[in-house]
Amino acid sequence: MIEVESLRKSFGKIVALDDISFHVDDGELLGIIGPNGAGKTTAIRIIACILHPDKGKVRVGGLDVTRDPIKVKSMIGYLPEEPNLYERFTARDLLKYFGELYGVPRNVLDSRIDELLELVGMGDRATDPINTFSKGMRQRIGIVRALVHDPPILILDEPTMGLDPATATSIREFIRELKGEKTMILCTHYMEEADYLCDRVAILNQGRILDVGTPRELKSKIKGDLTLEISLVDPSRVDLDLIKIEGVKNIRLDGDRLEISLEDRSIIPVVMGGLGGNVYSVNTKETSLDDVFIEMVKGS
């Protein structure tokens, strides 16, 4: 559905995107994670036809974003990092305005607005002005605005940034419900959010893609699914040949602490058997996308 090929964008001397390529399949949710200034917003603004690329190709549904921006825009719902909503409009008037702008037929627009407002829990605030809304409410209205023309693609830039945990969770659940129905790109700083929602994740740093894969693939590249943190009775008795056991990804001995990273938990009994009675205590730590992110960005 979305193909990005050798994309470059600079702002003066700043190279925001340095030859990046990735794709998003039909109905897939691709996460883009990366530190501040990595180029995430620049990449999605080019896909959403808000910025012009310097070089490279971006095709959305087979259409080139630089040649067919109007058609491409009609296929995309975009939630910017800070949605600029018309403060004096009521929620309903704002959504009507955008719906009409996108050519949504009047006979379906009202019912679509009602339905979407209900879905994001804002049905009872439809006639209130935007300037009376909290940050979380604005974010919900921003998402509805992105969806009002029922686009096949939804691009979300930090949709849960700065929201309280309950509101963030309800927005995540809403995005999850759209999975499969919409093709989506989600930029986020929250690794748990990316892990929970995304089919694949692209890690961007200094304008370059470090890796793209499912959260599971990315985790297994650096550590495996989990790490055993073992406190040893006698460190001198540890057999480091444990690394040869199939499924053991890494071993690190530091004093009386031994860390063993495993592909999955089915290998735990084999490893524990190999340590015999030398284990004083053991703690199991699941690998998170945070670990992947820190490791990859540090090594780039």
Binding site for ligand ATP (CB under 6 A): 11, 14, 16, 34, 36-42
CB of 45 to ligand ATP, least distance (A): 8
CB of 247 to ligand ATP, least distance (A): 35
CB of 125 to ligand ATP, least distance (A): 28
Measured on CA atoms in the order 163, 164, 170, 173, is the torsion positive or negative? positive
Residues 6+ apart with CB under 8 A from 264: 224, 225, 226, 247
- Residue among 179 and 189 whose Cβ is closer to ligand ATP: 189
CB of 36 to ligand ATP, least distance (A): 3
3-class state of residue 28 by DSSP = coil
- Residue among 7 and 94 whose Cβ is closer to ligand ATP: 7
DSSP H helices in the chain? 40-47, 69-75, 91-101, 106-119, 135-147, 165-178, 191-197, 215-222, 268-275, 289-298
- Residue among 50 and 242 whose Cβ is closer to ligand ATP: 50
CB of 194 to ligand ATP, least distance (A): 13
3-class state of residue 127 by DSSP = coil
**DSSP secondary-structure letter at 129?**
B
- Residue among 206 and 231 whose Cβ is closer to ligand ATP: 206
- Residue among 38 and 143 whose Cβ is closer to ligand ATP: 38
- Residue among 41 and 227 whose Cβ is closer to ligand ATP: 41
CB of 223 to ligand ATP, least distance (A): 25
Beta pairing class for 183-187 and 29-33: parallel
**Cα–Cα distance, 59 to 73 (Å, whole number):** 12
Of 171, 180, 215, give the one whose Cα is nearest residue 195: 215
Q: Look at the block and give the residue holding tokens 């190999």.
A: 274
CB of 16 to ligand ATP, least distance (A): 3
**Cα–Cα distance, 2 to 268 (Å, whole number):** 41
- Residue among 42 and 139 whose Cβ is closer to ligand ATP: 42
The number of beta carbons lying within 10 Å of the beta carbon of residue 116 is 22
Of 139, 179, 154, 148, give the one whose Cα is nearest residue 78: 154
